[in-house]
Structure formats: C-alpha cells, structure tokens
Amino acid sequence: MTVKVFHAELGTAIATGLLGLAGVIGATELGHGWTESGPEAGYFPFHVGLILIGASLWNLVAAFLKHRAAGSDPEEPFLDRDKARRLGVFIAALLVFVIVTLTLGIYVGSTLYITWSAWRQGGYRLPLALGTGAGFAVALYLIFEAIFRIPLLKGPIEPLLGIY
Amino acid sequence: MENFDLLMHGFGIAITPMHLMLMVGGVLMGLIVGVLPGLGAPNGVSLLIPLTFALDPTSAIILLSSIYWGALFGGSTTSILFNIPGEPSSVATTFDGYPMARSGQSTRALTLAFMSAGFGALLGVIVITLLAGWASNFALKFGAPEYFAVYFLAFAAFIGMGSAAPMKTLVSLAAGLLLASVGMDSVTGSIRLTFGFEDLLGGISFLVVVIGLFGIGELLSTVQEGLRFRGVASKIDLRDVFRTIAELPRYWATYLRSGAIGIWMGITPGGPTAASFMSYGIARSSSRKGAPFGTGRPEGIVAPETADHSAGSCAMLPMLALGVPSSATAAVMMGGLMIWGLTPGPMLFATQPDFVWGLIASMYVSNLIGVVLVLATVPMFAALLRIPFTIIGPMIVAICFVGAYTVSNATFDLWLVLVFGLVGYLFSRLDYPLAPLVLAMVLGHKAENAFHQSMVLSDGSLGIFFSNPLVSGIMAVGIALLVLPKLVSMGSRLRRRVPVE
C-alpha cells in the first residue's frame, strides 16, 4: 500500500488539531479567564490552543481542496513500498534500541544496536561489527564519564564490571 | 569609537591560548556535525550544551558559536561534493555547487563557497560591531509591552516572511508555545497541561525537542532516500584555490547584494535558510549574461553562501541585545545562555561586557580559523560520508539519545526524542517549518510573562500595545511583516492572471 501526501497532510492536521484541543481542555481545568491580578494560568495556553485548532482546520481544508483540484491525476505518493519498508525497519530498530537502553543502559543498548546494524544491515562479519559497537561504547565512556564526568544511563550489567 | 575600544577589549579576551583551542576544536566539531546527516547546527549545539557546564560562560559561548560556524562550512561542503545539503540553509548551494564540482572543478566550487561564507560572516560581524552599542541602548527603553511587541514581531516575521505556507508556520509556532507552557508556570505557580503525568512536571526541555526534531527527524529523511551517497572526488589543489581567490573580486556586486540580504534576514527573524534562497533567487533574476543558473555558475554559489553566513552571524545581534533569536541555532544558544544564568537582553551589554565583546571578537577570529581549517581538512571530512550508513547511522542515533539523556538525566526524555523524531520527519516532509517551533519553545515563557505583566500594567486592556510610539511602531512593523509579503505575492499573482483570462 502506498501512503499519499494527501493522507499524511490529513493525519498531521488532525494530530496538530488534537494537540490544540488538549491544550484547550487542560487550560479550562486551570481557568482561562481574568482575575484582578490579570490573566489566569490557563489564559495563554487556552488561546494558543484555539489558534492551533484554527490553523489545523485551515490546513485540513487546504489539503482537501488540493486533493480535489488534483482530481483523477495520480497524486504524489508520500511513501512508496520501498521507502515505507526501509523506514519501518529503521523505526522498529530505534524502538527496540530505546527499550533495551531503558532496561540495560545506554552502553549495552548502543553496542547491541550498532552491532546489529553493521552485522545484519551492513553485511559485516559479526566480530568486526561487535568490535565497532563495543569500541563506540568505550569511546562514549571515555568522553562522558572519564573526561567530562557526566554519568550516563547504566543498567544492571555495568556494576558487575565494576563501573558505577 | 566606543565600540572599537570595546571590540579591542574583546579581542584581548578572545585571543587566549585556551579560547583559540576552543575555537579550533569547536570549528572541527562543527565540521563533523555539519557534514554528517542527522547532526545539524541546532542539535549539534544542543548536544554540547550539557558539556559546557564545566566552562565559564564566555568560553562556553565561544565554543558553541565556533561549532555553529563549523557546521555552516560543513553543510556547504556536502552540498557541493555530494549534492546533500548538510544544513537546511545550504540547500541553495547545491543548485550550482554540485554541477560545478561534477564538471571537475570541485576545488573552485569549494573555494568559492568558503571564501563567500567567510566574507558573509565578516560582513555580519562588522554590522554587529557597529550596531551593538546602539541596539543595547535602544533596548534599554523597553518595558514589558515593548518586549511582548518584539516577540510578536519575531513570530509575525516567521509567518509572513518564511518560505512555508503561513498556516503551517502558525501550527508550528502554536505547537511550540503550547509545549513551552507544560509544567510549572513561573508567574502563577500552578502546574499546567501535565494531565497527571509526573514526568511532565518539570516541563519539556527544548534541547530534547531539538535533538528529536533535527537529529532523528533528519536521519529518518536520509533513511527514506535510501542512503546512496554519490560523491565527487574532494582533493584540494592549492593552485586552484589561489586562482579562485583571484577571480573573487569579479563578483563584487553579488557579494554586496547577498550580504545586504543576509544582514536584513539575520536581524529581522527571517533566518539563514530564507536568506540563502532569497539571495539565490535575486542573483538569478538579476544576472544578464553567461551560462544559465543551475549549471555551475559561480554567482550561484557566491550568492547563497554569502547570505547564509551573514544572516547566521547577524542572528546573534537580536539574540544578545533583545533576547530574540532569529534562527533555530541562535535560539538554542540563547537557551544555553539562560541555563548558564545569563539573561539575554540589553542589560547583558552593561553587566557582562566581557562576555558580549569576547563573543563578538571571537566571531572575527573563529571565522578566519574556519576558512583556513575547512580548506585544509575538507578531504578528511568528506571521507566521513564514505563510512557506510549502516555504521554511522546508528552511531548518530546513539549520540542523539545520549545527548538527550544528559540534559536532565531523565529516561522519559528518550521517549520524547523518539516522538519528536517522528514529528520532525513528518513536518519536514510536509513542509511545516521546524525553526518556529524551536523559537516558540525558547521564547514561550518570556512572551507569556511579558504579556502577563503588560496586562497587569494596563488592567487587562490590549490598548497598552499601542500606548506609545515605540511599542505601536514595533507592533505596526510586526503586523506589516505578517500581512504584506502575502498581499504582495497575491497581488502579483492577480496581475499575472489577468492577461491569461
């Protein structure tokens, strides 16, 4: 299936509109009116939310008008099958990377991620890929923790190696 | 001559072994950041802000601004050699830069670009030097309504003068303002828009958003295009460099025009990207003879590069003097300033002259260093793009997530980077501009505070924004910037349509 630009425009306009709606709802809970001391806490977000909803509606209508003007002409695809597959794989890997990083820490996460990508996607031999990944993690450690003394996210494995 | 003395004082601060080292290091880091897809100037600077806490503010800003200059140079390099703009503002350089490089004149194309960039930056810094004292005195007259008017003007300029559809710019702006208001409200002390999520109590850091939008978002665009970099050989021939430098004076008209466009777009918040496109367009329409643009015309490289860099350096002036950054990178740097405990604005010139003039002086020096370094190291950095994407891509991803984590050691921020990465990809594919979102996130609180204070002053009457000549003047310029550009283009479209019908 190919996603057309039209669909992407619609989806984005609806999403930004919903964000505006969330702002308006959140602001009404706080109160968006006036008191003697000036506007209430929700005043600014409330009106920004309204503007966001309005602009999103405009974009939605503009997308529809453009879609209709295009008529039966084939529209520009937003993502064809190839691009969608490439993006899908990349985003899935990103997601796994984030989850692994949150459970095992950034060093293990980035080592595994780089190794996997070089090995499975790049076609490098596993030892070389693993070396690249591990080398990167060591470089991270040296730059952040050794030189700048900024602690990075660690998991359950680093303490076993004596790194805190 | 007061400015001149201050500038000399600034040179005394900027030219120390430590600062020169930071400039060289910053420019080199900027070159890497500019060359690699996924690491642009805004998020390169964001990634390094947590590392600057150990430095004093003057050293920190010298490092960050040097990264910016390096990134601008790096962006032009990939535009010319690989037809891949490393920065959004170097898109226009690909039009003539890549064809010239492909015809075997890559040294000439690169030299043209770097010399023009250096010249543009120099023009920009001279303007800053001349205007700095005046701008800060002018800004001292500002009260809350005037500040709000200036923020309004910045937002209006983005909507009216940006190259994207106005309503899309507005969506980007409003989304940024909403995101900025999440968390504790500094005026009323109430917790806003967290919807019960504890992770949102501290608000959403704009640094994390920038890393997601520009870093992951740009990577996703690169992945989608399939990652085949078709590069041109990048050896620098020194004789060609000097021959090209000798031909530069021929383009004096293009230089001056593009510099003026860049300065204007840098001081008013049009930004370097709009400046480079506008300059390229005007150079094309005003050229009379010679090969058509798009086939490797030297003016096609000179015009966007000069404008890009003069706008980039001029963007520092409104940031320092008014606290209104006019480019995404300047917005990030201003965020850094506030994190270091400095308040951008006219008082900065009075209370921190070492910081301000040290920075301005460093801009002369680091751009000079930049031109020399970039010519010397281009082959090396171009080789970075020959590293297969399956290796460099995940590394960039990991660096982005590490950078986001170091902002406030919050694991929640990792999810934010992922989400804003997708947003950044979607927005850039659909021509929603990203810079207004960043600008709005940085300025959101200040704009709201200024609005709040004005309302308190005026007992809730909007009339305060038109109560004296200064504030009404700024508001009028803002409204004009908002409305005029579109009216003019609509008018010319109508006029063009008449003969057809």
Q: pLDDT tens across A53-101, in order?
A: 999 999 999 999 988 887 766 667 888 888 888 899 999 999 999 999 9
| Among B51, B409, B448, beta carbon nearest to A44 | B448
Q: pLDDT tens across B231-245, in order?
A: 666 677 788 888 888
- Say how far residue A62 (Cα) sits from the centre of its chain: 26
Which residues are bridge partners to A105 per DSSP?
Answer: A154
- Stretch 66-105 of chain A: residues touching chain B, C-beta under 8 Å: 78-79, 82-83, 86-87, 90-91, 93-95, 97-98, 101-102
Mean pLDDT score, B436-448: 86
pLDDT the model gives residue B392:
86
Judged by CB atoms closer than 8 Å, whether chains meet at A51 and B188 is answered as: no
Mean pLDDT score, B421-449: 88
> Does residue A17 surpass a pLDDT of 90?
yes
**How far is Cα A120 from Cα B97, in angstroms, rounded to an integer?**
36
Contact B26/B51 with Cβ under 8 angstroms? no
**How far is Cα B413 from Cα B394, in angstroms, rounded to an integer?**
18
Mean pLDDT score, B370-390: 82
Q: Please name the residue of chain B whose CA is at the shortest distance from the CA of residue A84.
A: B224
Judged by CB atoms closer than 8 Å, whether chains meet at B226 and A8 is answered as: no
Among A117, A130, A154, the strongest candidate for a mutation testing the B interface, having the largest count of B CBs within 10 A, is A117
Chain A residues close to B394, C-beta within 8 Å? 93, 97, 110, 113-114, 117-118
Contact A153/B405 with Cβ under 8 angstroms? yes
Judged by CB atoms closer than 8 Å, whether chains meet at B393 and A148 is answered as: no
Given pLDDT bands bounded at 50, 70 and 90, which one contains residue B351?
Answer: confident
Judged by CB atoms closer than 8 Å, whether chains meet at B165 and A8 is answered as: no
Q: Tell me what percent of chain B is helix, strand and coil, each rounded to the nearest 5.
A: 80, 0, 20
Contact A81/B397 with Cβ under 8 angstroms? no
pLDDT the model gives residue B492:
74
Judged by CB atoms closer than 8 Å, whether chains meet at B418 and A94 is answered as: yes
| Among B223, B406, B448, beta carbon nearest to A90 | B223
Instruction: Using a CB–CB cutoff of 8 Å, tell me whether A114 touches chain B.
Output: yes
Contact B108/B293 with Cβ under 8 angstroms? no
Judged by CB atoms closer than 8 Å, whether chains meet at A97 and B401 is answered as: yes
pLDDT the model gives residue B501:
36
> What percent of chain B has a predicted confidence (pLDDT) above 70?
95
**How far is Cα B373 from Cα B240, in angstroms, rounded to an integer?**
17
Question: What is the phi/psi pair of residue A39, to 5°?
Answer: -70, 150
- Say how far residue A7 (Cα) sits from the centre of its chain: 19
Q: pLDDT tens across B33-61, in order?
A: 888 766 778 888 888 888 888 788 899 99
**How far is Cα B42 from Cα B400, in angstroms, rounded to an integer?**
12
Interior angle at CA A69, CA A68 and CA A72, nearest 5: 75
Q: How many CB atoms within 10 Å of residue B33?
A: 28
Q: pLDDT tens across A111-142, in order?
A: 999 999 999 988 899 999 999 999 999 999 98
Q: How many CB atoms within 10 Å of residue A102?
A: 16
Among B178, B192, B194, B195, the strongest candidate for a mutation testing the A interface, having the largest count of A CBs within 10 A, is B178
Judged by CB atoms closer than 8 Å, whether chains meet at A144 and B170 is answered as: no
Residue located via tokens 């751009």: B367
Contact B30/B66 with Cβ under 8 angstroms? yes
**Stronger pLDDT, B400 or A77, i.e. the higher one:** B400
Chain B residues close to A9, C-beta within 8 Å? 430
Contact B226/A76 with Cβ under 8 angstroms? no
> What percent of chain B has a predicted confidence (pLDDT) above 90?
23
Q: How many CB atoms within 10 Å of residue B371?
A: 20
| Among A102, A124, A148, beta carbon nearest to B414 | A102
Smallest Cα distance from B189 to chain A, Å = 8
- Say which residues have a Cβ less than 8 Å from residue A85's Cβ, sequence separation at least 6: none
pLDDT the model gives residue A92:
95
Smallest Cα distance from B95 to chain A, Å = 23
| Among B168, B219, B426, beta carbon nearest to A8 | B426
Burial B289-312 (b: 16+ CB within 10 A, else e): eeeebeebbbbbbbbbbbbbbbbb
Smallest Cα distance from B296 to chain A, Å = 29
Judged by CB atoms closer than 8 Å, whether chains meet at B390 and A121 is answered as: yes
Chain A residues close to B167, C-beta within 8 Å? 55, 58-59, 62
Mean pLDDT score, B64-70: 91
- Say which residues have a Cβ less than 8 Å from residue B243's Cβ, sequence separation at least 6: B108
Please tell me the least confidently modeled range out of B212-221, B288-297, B364-373, B441-450. Answer: B288-297
Mean pLDDT score, B178-187: 85
Output the six-digit token pair for B416: 């934010």
Judged by CB atoms closer than 8 Å, whether chains meet at B427 and A49 is answered as: no
**How far is Cα A43 from Cα A31, in angstroms, rounded to an integer?**
7
Burial A64-73 (b: 16+ CB within 10 A, else e): eeebeeeeee
| Among B226, B397, B455, beta carbon nearest to A86 | B226
Q: Where are the alpha helices (DSSP H) in A71-116?
A: 81-104, 106-116
| Among B167, B177, B455, beta carbon nearest to A59 | B167
Q: State the complex-level ipTM.
A: 0.94
Q: Is A4 helix (H, G, I), strand (E, B) or coil?
A: strand
Cα–Cα distances (Å) from B136 to A95, B61, B321, B446, in that order, read 47, 19, 5, 18
Judged by CB atoms closer than 8 Å, whether chains meet at B391 and A94 is answered as: no
Cα–Cα distances (Å) from B173 to A51, B42, B165, B234, in that order, read 10, 17, 12, 40
Radius of gyration over alpha carbons of chain B, in Å? 22
pLDDT the model gives residue A123:
87
Chain A residues close to B390, C-beta within 8 Å? 117-118, 121-124
> Does residue A1 surpass a pLDDT of 60?
no
> Does residue B162 surpass a pLDDT of 80?
no
CA atoms within 13 A on the CB side of A31: 9
Judged by CB atoms closer than 8 Å, whether chains meet at A152 and B188 is answered as: no
Among B29, B49, B63, B181, the strongest candidate for a mutation testing the A interface, having the largest count of A CBs within 10 A, is B181
pLDDT the model gives residue B229:
58
Cα–Cα distances (Å) from B234 to B100, B116, B265, in that order, read 13, 19, 32
Chain B residues close to A16, C-beta within 8 Å? 171, 175
pLDDT the model gives residue B500:
42
Q: How many CB atoms within 10 Å of residue B100?
A: 23
Q: How many CB atoms within 10 Å of residue B498?
A: 7
Mean pLDDT of chain A: 88
Output the six-digit token pair for B259: 């510099």
Smallest Cα distance from A122 to chain B, Å = 5
Smallest Cα distance from A87 to chain B, Å = 6
Length of chain A: 164
Q: How many CB atoms within 10 Å of residue A3?
A: 14
Judged by CB atoms closer than 8 Å, whether chains meet at B394 and A113 is answered as: yes
Instruction: Using a CB–CB cutoff of 8 Å, tell me whether A30 touches chain B.
Output: yes
Mean pLDDT of chain B: 85
Contact B171/A51 with Cβ under 8 angstroms? no
> Does residue B353 surpass a pLDDT of 70?
yes
| Among B170, B429, B460, beta carbon nearest to A78 | B429
pLDDT the model gives residue B233:
65
Q: At what angle do helices B2-14 and B106-140 cross, to 10 degrees?
A: 120
| Among A45, A98, A140, beta carbon nearest to B418 | A98
Contact B317/B269 with Cβ under 8 angstroms? no
Question: What is the phi/psi pair of residue B311, to 5°?
Answer: -65, -40
Enclosing H/E stretch for A38: strand A38-39
Judged by CB atoms closer than 8 Å, whether chains meet at A132 and B391 is answered as: yes
Among A94, A95, A138, the strongest candidate for a mutation testing the B interface, having the largest count of B CBs within 10 A, is A94
Chain B residues close to A114, C-beta within 8 Å? 391, 394-395, 398
pLDDT the model gives residue B266:
84
